[in-house]
A and B are shown apart, each in its own frame.
Chain A
Amino acid sequence: MPTPASVFPRLEPRLGSVSKPIQYVGGELNSTVKEWDCGAATSEGETVRWALMYPDAYEVGLPNQGVQILYEVLNERDWILAERTYAVWPDMEQVLRTGDEQGPIPQFTVDAHRPVRAFDLFGVSFSTELGYTNMLNALDLAQIPLHAADRGDEDPIVLAGGHAAFNPEPIADFIDAAVLGDGEEVVLAISEVVREWKGEGRPGGRDELLRRLAVSGGVYVPRFYDVAYAEDGSIEAVVPNRPGIPFRVAKHTLMDLDAWPYPRKPLVPLAETVHERFSVEIFRGCTRGCRFCQAGMITRPVRERSIETIGEMVENGIRKSGFEEVGLLSLSSADHTEIGEVAKGLADRYEGSNVSLSLPSTRVDAFNITLANEFSRNGRRSGLTFAPEGGSERMRKVINKMVTEEDLIRTVATAYSHGWRQVKLYFMVGLPTETDEDVLQVAELAKKVIAKGREVSGRNDIRCTVSIGGFVPKPHTPFQWAAQLDHETTDERLKKLRDTVREDKKFGRAIGFRYHDGKPGAIEGLLSRGDRRVGRVIEEVWRDGGRFDGWSEHFSYDRWVAASERALAGAGVDLDWYTTRERGYDEVLPWDHLDSGLDKDWLWADWEDALAVADGADVEVEDCRWTPCYDCGVCPEMGTEIQIGPTGRQLLPLSVV
């Protein structure tokens, strides 16, 4: 194939007319632009080309770790070229569609401004289902047929990844393939399959390439599976429709994270983005067993990076990026076996400099004030965030987040007595078996926090911000069978809680209240637990102008409702059927043929435990990091193991260069 022309000369005269044009020009520090035929000089003589997309605006997509890691891992191979693309804002979409004398300008990569359609693979990373309409828009702008069935040999293989890909059925019509789990190794394996097929002269075309990927067992190709529906609208069966295609497709798990210390060359944008910091993932996976948490279920087992690797990654990252803020990332960062030593070691190393450290995702019970003090040694004490998630003790037992009220009060008391002035508490509304009373307990808890804060600090300027999100049941979790709370009841409960807080003369003004209405959660619920029939809804919404559904100013609930009514007419199912309906044990779930390693019977038993706890039973799921247990099934099923410290080692001072 001839080298595709850069579309930049066509864009350039129009960039002055769009908002924040810098997001479209590329040239970020540590970005990579390779020759289109970079693989020609290698022994195999073939080049494999990836366009990687984060399906949201550049300011959200650029900092995404997943895309940055894959971009770097792929570009390190001399025969692979990877470039990035993001969702364009409506003003740029207008510019692209209007085009010039050559016609519309296609969706392009920001690295070399090459048309996305010219690549071999188009990989889209979905952290959330609300990016689906943005993928459809990008496909359309790229002039790639929307439906996988209509694509030809000139079109890239459209591949979905990220957490949402653990149930890709709602986008099954639009993608050629999906990959579950950690991407580092599988993108290389896929690249090799593509290289071999290209080297052989592309035998059997697109269909044969997809077959080769599917028979590996690690790539899900929806077209090779037929879905049959029963009279009542539920799924009867999902079965392979040709020989050699596995019944179930397994997730990928990267072991030995120390061997994969990415990103090594963090991308530094010129544009302002949502995270202006360098992040180091200190471990992957979480086995706390919170029943609502999809991330904690699908990323098992826990695999830690060692204290030395963390130290090296922090130093390398800030030197290569120039960021002065470092985030230690994971699902529950205070749970690292050597977090105390890591915090102290890093704080010592960067003492007296303007490098600041932050620790998102801390649990209340794992929190330790020494840690927070280490992290704030160089910086300001702005606020601390804890996530009890459930307002009442009963709710916290239902979700298996075993934080007692005493734990929480003791923790905040220590924080306030050490000079912290503001605490942020995160809760969910709409959890299974929840009543109004459970939610109103949030107000009681917040009042007690303020009262304790005033008592221990002797001050009146203590604040507590309560932040509330709506619970959305997710695939591969014990709550995958649960009924989602309808948005009207969600909003009523939030209103009652808000009124209760506001009416309180003594504490009301010290408590901030942040929440969103329940409508976007209902649509997220439809997309999370949907099946292939939901694809028509997504397409209708996109055709009606739906874009950027994760942005409240762009999201339209009415558009989704109207599209659902049109697209699901005659199917015997509707929006409520997908969201507010509780599922039974025997129901075939749309993602049952996708293997996250979790034993479905274990998930069901855990769901039953949750319901029993709701009625007063006393069951707690222990964390297998400390209490050996293989019940969830992941380690035996996937051939993986827990990889944790402590190593007993320390961070040494850095020698001055």
Chain B
Amino acid sequence: MGVREQPEQQAPPVQRLRIRYAKRGRLRFTSHRDFSRAFERAIFRARVPMAYSSGFNPHPRISYAGAAPTGSASEAEFVEIGLAEVLDPAVVRASLEEALPDGLDVVDVVVSPGGSLSDLLEASHWHLDLATPASVVEPAVAAFLAAPSVEVERMTKKGLRTFDCRGAVVSLSVAERERGSRLDLVLRHGTPSVRPDDVLSGLKAVAGLDLGEAPLLTRVAQGPLDEASGEVGDPLHSSA
């Protein structure tokens, strides 16, 4: 038996860029896999000089972090790319904006200071737009916050799981909207991972709140959590 030829070793990236992008409008229905394919094509179309992984099937160096669930809109999704050349982040931003479809919009590009991007993503700030009036939602929110823990169920790849959705909630409040109401929610990332729809299940569990029409979920921020204020910061421009 002959020895299989070893693949060529690729040079490591000379620059890493962190990109914040938004998932807006109807493109909120892109799944994470859909986005990664679209992003890789956009990188190629924009002729961004990517660094590649070594191996028999080299891949461009792209790390995705904390993707929002399919169907949720987001103003704060993050990805890090490794480049083969040093570039001005503003130039990369402009060419990626041009190459991505409308609705997958680049918001910010900065040079990575090193370290792990995912470690900076400690919490998310969500808006949950409901068709239900605030007066109906308020008692449910109060009951939820008063509870020490709220058990909910969700179907996962490993089957039906039961877990507490209360512990991850940093803050939750409700405000009146023109039509229905808006929940303002800050969720701490962790294990098990609690999603905003789990909190809706929790509201139903503690107070029987029935939401009817599917709510619109939007992640407005994702980043480091200021434990004192309960606010979510910007991971690309954090003072930390």
Contacts and interface: CB of A to CB of B under 8 A. Distances in A.
Contact of B57 (A270, A380, A459): A380
Nearest to B101: A29
Contact of A8 (B2, B26, B58, B101): B26
Given A22-B34, A271-B34, A272-B33, A322 B41 contact: yes
B163 interface: no
A322 B99 contact: yes
Nearest to A28: B101
B213 interface: yes
Contact of B27 (A12, A25, A323): A25
Nearest to A11: B26
A15 B41 contact: no
Nearest to A268: B41
Contacts of B34: 22, 270-272
B147 interface: no
Contacts of A16: 71, 214
A25 B213 CA distance: 19
A17 interface: yes
Contacts of B37: 270, 272, 276
Contacts of A14: 214
Contact of B29 (A25, A319, A322, A458): A25
Nearest to B72: A16
Interface string B100-117: 011100000000000000
B142 interface: no
Nearest to B40: A322
Interface in B99-137: 99, 101-103
Nearest to A26: B26
Interface in A316-332: 318-324
B38 interface: yes
Nearest to B44: A322
Nearest to A21: B29
B30 A22 contact: yes
Nearest to B46: A322
Interface in B37-63: 37-38, 40-45, 52, 56-58
B31 interface: yes
- The listed residue with most B CB atoms (<10 A of its CB), out of A22, A268, A319, is A22
Interface in A137-184: none
Nearest to A458: B2
A379 B137 CA distance: 57
A350 to B, nearest CB: 12
Interface string B5-38: 0000000000000000000001101110111011
A354 B213 CA distance: 46
B173 interface: no
A20 interface: yes
A412 to B, nearest CB: 18
Nearest to B52: A354
Given A13-B214, A27-B102, A321 B41 contact: yes
Contacts of A320: 45
Contacts of A270: 27, 30, 34-35, 37-38, 101
Contacts of A17: 214
B70 interface: yes
A460 interface: yes
Contacts of B26: 8, 12, 25-27
A322 B31 contact: no
Contacts of B58: 354
Given A14-B214, A322-B99, A380-B57, A22 B44 contact: no
A26 B41 CA distance: 17
Contacts of B43: 322
Given A25-B29, A322-B99, A380-B57, A15 B71 contact: yes
- The listed residue with most A CB atoms (<10 A of its CB), out of B29, B41, B45, is B29
Contacts of A13: 213-214
A382 to B, nearest CB: 10
Contacts of A12: 26
A20 B42 CA distance: 21
A263 to B, nearest CB: 16
Interface string A333-363: 0000000000000000000001000000000
B228 interface: no
A488 interface: no
Contacts of A271: 34
B155 interface: no
B160 interface: no
Interface string A1-25: 0000000100011111100111011
A582 interface: no
Contacts of B29: 15, 21-22, 24-25
Contacts of A15: 29, 71
B240 interface: no
B41 A323 contact: yes
A110 to B, nearest CB: 10
B36 to A, nearest CB: 10
B101 A27 contact: yes
Nearest to A29: B101
Nearest to B212: A13
A282 B33 CA distance: 32
A576 interface: no
B1 A460 contact: yes
Interface in A227-275: 268, 270-272
B185 to A, nearest CB: 18
Contacts of B214: 13-14, 16-17
B71 A27 contact: no
A320 B58 CA distance: 23
B164 to A, nearest CB: 24
Contact of A461 (B1, B31, B35, B56): B1
Contacts of B40: 322
A459 B4 CA distance: 12
Interface string A428-466: 000000000000000000000000000000111100000
A570 to B, nearest CB: 50
B13 to A, nearest CB: 16
A422 to B, nearest CB: 14
A20 B29 CA distance: 8
Contacts of B45: 319-322
Given A12-B26, A15-B71, A28-B101, A22 B42 contact: no
A24 B28 CA distance: 12
Contacts of B71: 15-16, 21
B167 to A, nearest CB: 26
30 contacts: A8-B26, A14-B214, A15-B29, A15-B71, A21-B29, A21-B70, A22-B31, A24-B29, A25-B27, A25-B29, A27-B26, A27-B101, A29-B41, A29-B101, A270-B35, A270-B38, A270-B101, A272-B33, A272-B37, A319-B45, A320-B45, A321-B41, A321-B45, A354-B52, A354-B58, A458-B2, A459-B1, A459-B2, A460-B1, A461-B1
- Counting from the closest, the 6 A-B pairs by CB-CB distance are A322-B41, A322-B45, A25-B26, A21-B29, A16-B71, A270-B34
Interface of B: 1-2, 26-27, 29-31, 33-35, 37-38, 40-45, 52, 56-58, 70-71, 99, 101-103, 213-214
Interface of A: 8, 12-17, 20-22, 24-29, 268, 270-272, 276, 318-324, 354, 380, 458-461
Given A21-B71, A272-B37, A322-B99, 4 more contacts: A12-B26, A271-B34, A276-B37, A322-B42
